[in-house]
Amino acid sequence: LLQVNVLIALGAKGLEIFPYYFPACWADDPNVEAGLVDVDGNLTDLWHYYYRAFRPLLIHGEFFGSAKYKGYLLSGKYCGLLPDEGALSTVLWNDCIYRGDLKSGIRIEHFSPLLRVESTTELIVGCFEGECPGVFAVNNSITNMLNATFYLECPQHVEIWRGYRHESKISDILCIDALEAGDAVFILFKGKEV
């Protein structure tokens, strides 16, 4: 869930699942659990996890496919199960361990109609310009849920999507509570309140 959501927030235009189909050459290995479809063509238990992860693309794929990716905003401090830096320094290839403060991709400082975003742990906010601007905000923790507040330039008509559930409202402050580790919220800005 975290991997798929972060890729969406970073503007990925396509995702590949390996292996989608359980390879027949692995069928005799009792320890291998892979693929969304087994050797007999049946859905595996993994399918349900991937379905949940890909649900935003099923619902909003047209938006993400046509919108222009502008970059991402970062809010809050990363929270994972990391030991202190002294212990991390003894780990082979410790430079590959994510410690927060994403360094790659297009980081931006502002995205209208957002003024700022505050969150209790690190939140990656992918920003997209389409017919209406939208953001895809991901809780970047593997362990902690977060609360986030989005402050807008002025009251806006917004749609807030969490999975397949959504609400419409008019506000200049949006509160997202209890966003699970790795989960995301999609916010579509439909226009200013007149």
pLDDT tens per residue across span 122-158: 999 999 999 999 999 999 998 999 999 999 999 999 9
Dihedrals phi, psi of 44, to nearest 5 degrees: -95, 175
Tokens of 121: 């742990």
Collapse the DSSP code of 48 into the 3-class scheme (helix H, G, I; strand E, B; otherwise coil) and give the result. helix
The model carries a pTM of: 0.90
| CA–CA separation, 139 and 120 (whole Å) | 10
Banded model confidence at residue 194, pLDDT cuts 50, 70, 90? low
Please classify residue 82 by burial: count the beta carbons closer than 10 Å to its beta carbon, then call 0-12 exposed, 13-18 middle and 19+ buried: middle
pLDDT tens per residue across span 15-70: 888 878 777 777 788 888 788 888 888 998 889 988 989 988 889 999 999 999 99
Residues 6+ apart with CB under 8 A from 59: 161, 164
